[in-house]
Amino acid sequence: MKNNHHFKRWFGARVIIIITTVFFSLPAISQVTIWSVNFNNGCTSNCLASTYAGWTIQNNVGGVNGGAPNDWFVSCAEEGIAPPGCGSSCIGDASLHIGSDPGAGGDMGASYNETGATNATYKLVVSPIISTVNRQTLTLKFDFIAFGSSACSEDRAQLRLSTNGGATWPVGYQYCLTSVCCGACNGYSQGQWTTYTLALPAAFEGNPNVRIAFHWMNNGNGSGTDPSVAIDDIVLSGLVALSANVVNFNAVKETSKVKLSWTTNSETQVNRYEVERSASTAGFAKITSVAAKGNQQPGNINYTANDAQLFTAPVFYRLKTVDNTGGFKYSNIIRVGNNAAGTDDITLIAVNGAQGNIKASLWSGHYHDANITLYDMEGKLIKDFGKKPIVKGENQLSLYVPRIPVANYILKVEVPKSGNKKPVSLSGKFNYTK
């Protein structure tokens, strides 16, 4: 038997010139959760995955099961642990995992039998159908442990995807799962919890028949490679695919107001347009809303709105297009101010973080190389993202982070002294959400 269940300052160098500090939290730009599952069913052990929330188990997929195959369970016999943690006995966060046949010990967490041909297992656990209609740029994320054969050839777990409701699982959409070990990879250590992130191919966008699955193969040759597997916290997310094309978005500062105008075409199912403003020391906030008027009409549609509040410093605007279901997307950011477009100002307009990503919006008057770092509220360095190129005008940065606790953090953007240019340091406080 292969039983692999285990029980489981402040900132240093300171930059002298502080240009601005931003304190706010901003919703993720157009990114929405399409489907998610955490497997928390309250079961301590021996609950088959086929009893959980529309999941099913298919037998003899890619081979023939032996007389006592392993099985897919959903329980906290294998506790879901935040990466990069190692396994634990039941605390309350259930996971999807492979366990032994009940006649040979049953669900003892992510462990399996490999005594011989009787344990041969070829089982696919399949999600319910997922619709991605009106969604694009899809990302699949989940946490997992799976220390299997590197060639994905024996005793291993595999992610599979289907675009036709599970009728087929093309080879091009099959991905072997292998994590590092908790301790030495000596045939007894289990895999370490790891976050898996996959950008889905375009075929999955706007598709009403998406399914995901996990395949377990144990070839029953009596030689285990210790690929115990568990899955937790699956999230499929994507951008809203609105059928409205904003041709242009402009802002002109007049004597007593800022006049905003935009032109759209190909409007379908658009509910309204919201104009949002940022004065560089606060997050974007809605200042007005304009009802959509061009749905199903050919040609361009023109809109105008006014901002009666004037600022001496540069101000930033963006346009939020909202559809009839509440989905939305943003336009490019535009800048209005007294300073010429070629000034050396760098402004950190917005920063937010969720689900392993930090997004930051910056505006720069020149090209720069900036050092970007993440700190907690006590000044401890969480991640150094290294040097990032900053272009003249609008910059949208997407920064990947390993799983970190839900809390407030500070993102720092620093440009070192160059020639006669002074060093610049920007910092933005934000709340990271799961």
Residue where a domain stops, chosen among 207, 240, 273: 240
Q: What percent of the chain has pLDDT over 90?
A: 43
Same domain, 113 and 257: no
Q: Are residues 351 and 326 in the same domain?
A: no
Tens digit of each residue's pLDDT (9 = 90 or more) over 209-235: 999 999 999 888 877 666 579 999 999
C-alpha span between 312 and 324 (Å, rounded): 37
Question: In 356-403, where do the E strands start and end?
Answer: 357-364, 368-376, 381-390, 393-400
Same-domain status, 225 and 276: no
103 — pLDDT class (breaks 50, 70, 90): low
Residue 15 pLDDT > 70, yes or no? Answer: no
Q: What is the pLDDT of residue 29?
A: 38
What CATH number corresponds to the domain at position 228?
2.60.120.200
Residue 154 has pLDDT above 80, yes or no: no
Q: CATH code at 303?
A: 2.60.40.770
**Identity of the amino acid at 368:** H
What pLDDT is stored for residue 151 in this prediction? 66
Q: Is residue 19 part of a domain?
A: no
Residues 143 and 262 placed together within one structural domain of the fold = no
Residue 142 CB neighbours (<10 A)? 22
- The mean pLDDT value for 270-278 works out to 92
CATH of the domain at 433: 2.60.40.1220
Highest mean pLDDT among 52-61, 107-116, 188-197: 52-61
262: enclosing H helix or E strand? strand 258-268
In a domain, 126, yes or no: yes
Question: Do 67 and 100 reside in the same domain of the chain?
Answer: yes
Q: Which two tokens stand for residue 51?
A: 């009893």
The reply to whether 422 and 387 lie within a common domain is yes
- Residues 172 and 57 grouped into a single domain: yes
State the DSSP string of 1-35: -B---------SSPPS-EEEEEE-----SSEEEEE
pLDDT at 286 over 90: yes
Of 338, 370, 393, the one marking the end of a domain is 338
Q: Is residue 1 part of a domain?
A: no
Residues 332 and 355 in one domain: no
Domain contains 55: yes
pLDDT for the residue numbered 20: 31
Same domain, 37 and 142: yes
**Same domain flag for 91 and 230:** yes
Domain around 315: 242-338
99 and 222 both lie in a single domain: yes
Tokens representing 12 are 């240093």
Q: What is the mean pLDDT of the chain?
A: 83
Structurally, how many domains does the chain consist of? Answer: 3
Find the mean pLDDT for residues 100-117.
82
Residue 109's nearest CA partner among 215, 187, 192, 5 is: 5
- What is the per-residue pLDDT across 330-370, written as a single tens digit (0 to 9) for each? 888 888 876 544 445 788 888 888 877 898 888 888 888 89
Nearest-angstrom CA–CA distance, 46 and 204: 33
Is residue 121 located within the same domain as residue 236?
yes
- pTM value? 0.59
In a 3-state reduction of DSSP, which class is residue 106?
A: coil
- Among 209, 240, 271, the domain boundary falls at 240
